[in-house]
Amino acid sequence: MWTIATAVPPQTVWSDDLESATAWTANPSGTDTATLGLWERGDPEATTSSGNKQLGTAVSGSNDLVTGRLAGASAGAYDVDGGITSIQSPPVTLPSSGVLRVSFSWYLAHGSNSSSADFFRVKVVGGTTSTVFQQLGAASDRDGAWAASTADISAYAGQTVRIVFEAADASGASLLEAGVDDVKVTRQ
Ligand SMILES: [Ca+2]
Ligand SMILES: [Ca+2]
Ligand SMILES: [Ca+2]
């Protein structure tokens, strides 16, 4: 007579805390245009310019994916310059059914010299490629602060996919940094 709805906890399909090298590939398509501040995995150094820009602390452990991990002599020394930089996950084989999600911690930081041409973007590459998350820049100061986000990738069920993170200083020079940590794919 009574139906008890039991919440099925999400099952982890794949996860990476970025603490060890697991075959992330920078510039996987060979089409990146950025000249500095390229995505890499490592222990990030903090930069500040009107507030925190590159965060020196990861969400888990001491490593993350970051747009040029070194601080350099000034905040503009190793921020993203000149266009798009991208980094791609190892292949992830998705279950053939269920609600599939990718979750990640991330930040985008930029100076007031940014614009909506700049972005932080998450793509899924399988049989097709789609943008599943995006934060555009703006002509205002945005400080780096870790946030957690999730995107539904159920459309890719049964496929082997790769997750790609992109950041761009795309039109006019902007101070721009991005970071990613704790990438996880779950099935529910
Ligand atoms: Ca980490
Ligand atoms: Ca940097
Ligand atoms: Ca720049």
Here the CATH number for the domain that contains residue 95 is 2.60.120.200
Q: Which residue has the tokens 């794919």?
A: 185
Number of domains in the chain: 1
Rounded to the nearest 10°, the torsion over CA 84, 85, 89, 90 is 110
Q: What's the CA gap between 75 and 50, in Å, rounded?
A: 10
Q: What pLDDT, on the 0 to 100 scale, is given for residue 156?
A: 98
Question: How would DSSP label each residue in 150-181?
Answer: EEE-GGGTTSEEEEEEEEE--SS---EEEEEE
Of 3, 47, 32, 12, the C-alpha closest to 188 is 12
Within-domain flag for 4: no
Within-domain flag for 34: yes
Q: What is the average pLDDT score of the chain?
A: 96
What's the gap in Å between 75 CA and the centre of ligand 3? Answer: 9
What's the gap in Å between 101 CA and the centre of ligand 3? Answer: 31
Q: Where would I find the H helices in 26-173?
A: none
Q: What pLDDT, on the 0 to 100 scale, is given for residue 1?
A: 60
Q: Which amino acid does the sequence have at 35?
A: T
Question: Which domain, by its residues, includes 152?
Answer: 11-187
Within-domain flag for 6: no
Residues with Cβ–ion distance below 5 A, ligand 3: 79, 81, 169
Q: What pLDDT, on the 0 to 100 scale, is given for residue 9?
A: 84
Rounded to the nearest 10°, the torsion over CA 4, 102, 117, 40 is 150
Residues with Cβ–ion distance below 5 A, ligand 1: 17-18, 58, 60-61, 63, 181
Ligand nearest to the CA of 81: 3
Within-domain flag for 3: no
Within-domain flag for 5: no
Ligand nearest to the CA of 78: 2
For residue 16, what are the β-bridge partners?
183
Whole-prediction pTM: 0.95
What's the gap in Å between 185 CA and the centre of ligand 1? Answer: 16
Q: Are 142 and 150 in contact (CB under 8 A)?
A: no
Residue 72 neighbours by CB under 8 Å, 6+ apart: 47, 78
Per-block mean pLDDT, blocks of 10 residues, the chain (188 long): 72 98 96 98 98 98 98 98 98 97 98 98 98 98 98 98 98 96 97
Within-domain flag for 119: yes
Ligand nearest to the CA of 74: 2
What's the gap in Å between 177 CA and the centre of ligand 2? Answer: 6
Ligand nearest to the CA of 181: 1
Q: Exposed, middle or buried by CB within 10 Å (0-12, 13-18, 19+), for 107?
A: buried
What's the gap in Å between 154 CA and the centre of ligand 2? Answer: 33
Within-domain flag for 83: yes
